[in-house]
Structure 1
């Protein structure tokens, strides 16, 4: 056994360069590179190590720590969790900025390696710049906040500790059931401390993503349940996509004529035009899926976490005899809704189920109900795509108790636009390249997309809706493009989410990595504005308005923003769109560009797509002076009584 004397940071870089993953016999490097923003907490440790010898790691210069970490999440998600980009920041605010991204990764089960700098272990210079001093515990730093949002957390207080920290970090990052954010805090003095590391720590390591096989007992339980059910429905979650089980699921569904609905993470695994693909299900579900969900007596959830949006707060599956069969690699998720557990890889579980179910000559009683629901869905999508502003008598899809004609008139005067959001989405769906990837995360767009967007190519739908993190869209689009540079990538983002965070748009310019930002500007946090009014409130601090000097309230005129000029200042090719003709011209021109682009589309408020046969449990005041709110509280209590309690 030999040893190699190097600093802790140099040893970390050497270790990361020698990590590989093997999936179904295909081997590739697991760590592609590192996003970094250097400060005093990491520049002379990890920064020095990367400058001296970064090996095969590509170093990306981030602009905001949260933004660069969202780009890393986008990269790992689009890579089906088979490759990652690590992220390093200084101690203090740089580290704290990554907390939101860590939560986003953990919620969505996406591998994200975070390497924040940390305070001195010696304590000699305490309190160091950016250090939080807690009188009850001098070991606490900003990085302790990562404990709540990480799947594995460690602090390397001695060089020797790096070895077990790294090995456990890779254990979690490559585990499909346990993956998420992994945080290794690196005190800045320890980063530069030298130690004689054993050479075997740096040997090539291959992490095998083995497919977990179902047990015979669990298969028998599953078959017994399916055999006595007449109206089964599959809910296809992100686990189907990550295990590349789409083709097997398609064959299974066709064999037994079982309709399959999609979660946000599962959408894009099988094209929308498949006759058994009934679209998104739940609170943001499509008309077809939600109609069938209410009749299903068996829900086969494959690779899904059963979020409240997927189940409409455990309300959408209303058949009194409904049961759940949960196919998942996560034991935690397999226990949800008191389901029968089939703890296995999605692809392997479906293959095993198919072999046994075929012997029983299983069939169901859906008959032509699936086709009827699909026809209703296609007609509804066609109608939604044609919605236009028709003047004073126009009634928006999101109707409420207020007269919105004055708002439309004000918006039209400011922007000269009468475009509706649903019509713009129809144009995009029909005119983007077939293999283009769309990225979205927050606001009204994910709901509209799950309800009416028709996917045409594999892995072309990239929506982060586990954490619904505003500011994910533009930054993650860069990660998607780094993962699949041959595809056009379009970030679909609202004005509120764009203003919150779009830092890595500049990084895309720096890297000559073209992304396209499609910005929907309705001068409102429209999704929450809808939520207010749907539940009896008036519009309250959700529209972007000037303060009224007379009333002192934020009820003045809309605040117009020229997003196209902002993007142009960054170096993007930009477009301001107020008509369908301008939109079509812009969509044609962006495909000819080699630099990142932004299309600033002015869309009327309240012109999103409304819900279909669903309900969502949100907190509503149980006492109020408003009769409308009182009525909504009564309705909420009624639906809670109808929903499953756990």
Structure 2
């Protein structure tokens, strides 16, 4: 990323501790794209212990809330999730920092860091570390490694960070901090960035050059594709009879939604979406055919099976979200990869790459294709299939007559929510069976509405991420949708929502177990082992009461009729509000359609139980259709 500074080089210095210098530096970093400038590090989350309270903690106090706002969390992993929710909603142009003590506070960052890096969302991690000067050895929470004196528990963050450095001397902060900002603002390289801060170095004073604290603007570039590759891509599109676009998260982060809508509208090429790309087109755009892959719509997956050209725009074609090894069955299928990252633009190996920013690439490719449209017969066929799918969605959402006084199915919960929200609302989800139903059924109304973290599918992401979104854009209604299994993993940040005055809307769907893995377990011969909660053994468990004890206003919805009223009340609320409902098992009429594509989950090759034997037979049948596109 290119940088610019607003002050000239000076020999003046300022005497500060390392922690004070870091906080002052972070408060003066900005990003700029398309003429819009904003703070790079907008706030710092923190939980304090002996490893950071006298360093970063004291520095945040001295700097003051205006220059670096402080946010108090309850769980270190959740603080990273909140920072990720904020950065994703901000289009990766603004981020948060997270500070913890050395020890369990630092290692609790690992899960959140992995999610940030896998999803390529910027977050700055500032864990304390053991003494660099080793005046006492070992100290509290120090991991002793006999063969290496410089290893600490923070080294667990190395494989899940896009940039990692341990600041063993104050002056080492200058190049490390600049490198950290470079990575955070690089749309290809971004993810979790870790600066491990030994607690003695945090408190050590140093004479810092004034230019270190000058305002810096990091320009987020929009690289354009190679002209020859662009011309070849246009020819490939013109030659295709059944092209299909798969829109991934790169469309969102490039802000290319309008360009995609124009490109699809002009060419008539249908657009399927990954979990990260859903919302790239409004659900009612004529070219939108819904989600693709294992959780995809019948329309999108049928188009993928017959496609002779797959235009993978801003997606890395992971197996679950695109079924990339089994779904594309046309023997003549070819691939065109539009991506900022050359590694992803070349997926699969046979792909013709277009390395560049999605917005600029779609604009230039569209100009070369002026006047070109797919065959009207093809457009009419997928349009008809799209209408058929919408009728199936209506059926899954429907609740009328006696059904109104029954407990809702999960699909009926989404139907009730669909009737309440507008394009202003944001839905947050990450794990369980909900991502599958949302990907198939949800009718996205705006580019930011669908916020499903599925690169890491991290249980416990939803509540803190919703808080991060609420901080990024106060006043926008934000819904955290969780099952009972996910809720039990990480409910404590509800206290943070109450404390910070973020009026998130929490919907708890109690299906008494790990429903998603239960279904998978049954399909692969595991017979739902360890996936159901037994009410008879937990008679006093009350998740609604738990949410109330953490400060939420709680509305219990026993029936579909109750649910509709509860969701409307929650949306209008100006304080954190929870809607709790116990869902019923769907029947074949009201439930969502089954998976439309196969997901490769290996099954025991030898077994004695009939369920596993049958599951292996089905696995072998499906695996025979794997294909490496070379």
TM-score range, shorter chain: over 0.9
Name the counterpart of 1:253: 264
Identify which of 176, 179, 193 aligns with 1:165. Answer: 176
Name the counterpart of 1:384: 396
Name the counterpart of 2:8: none
Distance in 1 separating the partners of 2:297 and 2:182? 38
Name the counterpart of 1:232: 243
More moved, 177-186 vs 316-325: 316-325
Distance in 2 separating the partners of 1:367 and 1:436? 31
Name the counterpart of 2:444: 455
Q: TM-score, normalised by structure 2?
A: 0.94
Name the counterpart of 1:45: 55
The correspondence of residues 79-478 of structure 1 with structure 2, limited to 5 A, is 79-338=90-349, 339-358=351-370, 361=372, 363-364=374-375, 366-386=378-398, 418-478=407-467
Deviations 1:147-196 (A, max 9, x none): 11000001000001101111110101000011100000000000001111
Q: Which runs of 5+ in 1 are unaligned?
A: 392-415, 547-555
Name the counterpart of 2:4: none
Distance in 2 separating the partners of 1:564 and 1:502? 11
Distance in 1 separating the partners of 2:85 and 2:235? 40
Which SS does the other structure have where 1:133 is aligned?
coil
Which SS does the other structure have where 1:594 is aligned?
coil
Deviations 1:549-601 (A, max 9, x none): xxxxxxx6565632221111112110111111211221122133221011111
Identify which of 550, 566, 589 aligns with 1:570. Answer: 550
Identify which of 607, 616, 621 aligns with 1:633. Answer: 616
Which SS does the other structure have where 2:369 is aligned?
helix
Distance in 1 separating the partners of 2:379 and 2:531? 46
Name the counterpart of 2:600: 617
Equivalent residue pairs, number: 612
**Cα pair distance change 1:387/1:594, threshold 3 Å:** closer
Contact (CA 8 Å) 1:313, 1:617: kept in 2 or not?
Answer: no
Deviation at 1:224, TM superposition (A): 2.8
Contact (CA 8 Å) 1:91, 1:119: kept in 2 or not?
Answer: yes
Contact (CA 8 Å) 1:243, 1:347: kept in 2 or not?
Answer: yes
Deviations 1:278-314 (A, max 9, x none): 0000001012211211111111011111111222252
Contact (CA 8 Å) 1:29, 1:83: kept in 2 or not?
Answer: yes
Distance in 2 separating the partners of 1:560 and 1:324? 55
**Cα pair distance change 1:606/1:384, threshold 3 Å:** closer
Name the counterpart of 2:3: none
Identify which of 569, 572, 577 aligns with 1:592. Answer: 572
Deviation at 1:630, TM superposition (A): 1.8
Deviations 1:209-268 (A, max 9, x none): 110011112112212322221110000111101111111111111111000011111112
Name the counterpart of 1:514: 503
Distance in 1 separating the partners of 2:492 and 2:79? 8
**Cα pair distance change 1:241/1:217, threshold 3 Å:** same
**Cα pair distance change 1:335/1:580, threshold 3 Å:** same
Deviations 1:106-134 (A, max 9, x none): 01010011000000011222211111111
Name the counterpart of 2:513: 524
Q: Which runs of 5+ in 2 are unaligned?
A: 1-10
Distance in 2 separating the partners of 1:639 and 1:81? 38
Which SS does the other structure have where 1:304 is aligned?
coil
Name the counterpart of 2:45: 35
**Cα pair distance change 1:300/1:459, threshold 3 Å:** same
Which SS does the other structure have where 1:261 is aligned?
strand
**Cα pair distance change 1:417/1:562, threshold 3 Å:** farther
Distance in 2 separating the partners of 1:134 and 1:559? 46
Name the counterpart of 1:643: 626
Asked if 1:536 corresponds to 2:519, the answer is no
Distance in 2 separating the partners of 1:352 and 1:572? 50
**Cα pair distance change 1:558/1:296, threshold 3 Å:** farther
Contact (CA 8 Å) 1:526, 1:606: kept in 2 or not?
Answer: no
Which SS does the other structure have where 1:502 is aligned?
coil
Distance in 1 separating the partners of 2:595 and 2:167? 51
Distance in 2 separating the partners of 1:449 and 1:179? 27
**Cα pair distance change 1:321/1:390, threshold 3 Å:** farther
Distance in 1 separating the partners of 2:193 and 2:46? 16
RMSD: 1.8
Name the counterpart of 2:491: 502
Name the counterpart of 2:562: 582
Distance in 1 separating the partners of 2:91 and 2:492? 24
Q: TM-score, normalised by structure 1?
A: 0.92
Contact (CA 8 Å) 2:295, 2:596: kept in 1 or not?
Answer: no
